Amino acid sequence: VQLQASGGGLVQPGGSLTLSCTTSGFALDSKPLGWFRTVPGKKREGVACFSSTDGTTYYAYSVKGRFTVSRDNAKNTMYLQMNNLKPEDTAVYYCATEELPLYGSSCLTEGYYFNSIWGKGTQVTVSS
């Protein structure tokens, strides 16, 4: 099982960016999937995720209405469409999956990823 995040970059406030998480070794709809982000000195924050029960999506309050998570099972890729970006969205973004089932919004909490696989992050910088 492998994951790799890509698509980060520099964008102005109010702009948009789409991140991709390319995976291999498992079917996307067979495990929970999450996007997380981290900035120096802060705990890693769950941004958006798919639960492993019915594939329902969950979002952090700070990004709800601006970010959209999706997946293309045929391409083994999960996406994070980020609109109306703000300077506080600046972070390194990671994607992750978990071997055990995660129910409901628990897929947003890093602490539940007991047997997890993480990809290398991609830097997103929102600045004018």
- Per-residue pLDDT averaged across 83-105, rounded? 94
Confidence category of residue 57, pLDDT binned at 50, 70, 90: very high
Q: What are the two backbone dihedrals, phi and then psi, of residue 57, each rounded to the nearest 5 degrees?
A: -100, 150
**Residue with structure tokens 């495990």?**
31
- The percentage of residues in the chain with a pLDDT greater than 90, rounded to a whole number, is 74
Confidence category of residue 54, pLDDT binned at 50, 70, 90: confident
Q: Amino acid identity, residue 74?
A: A
- The percentage of residues in the chain with a pLDDT greater than 70, rounded to a whole number, is 99
pLDDT of residue 128: 94
- Per-residue pLDDT averaged across 30-59, rounded? 91
Number of H helices, E strands in the chain: 0, 11
**Residue with structure tokens 């007991």?**
114
Give the integer Cα–Cα distance in Å for 126 and 22.
23
pLDDT tens for 73-87 read: 999 999 999 999 999
Q: Residue 64: CB partners within 8 Å, gap ≥ 6?
A: none
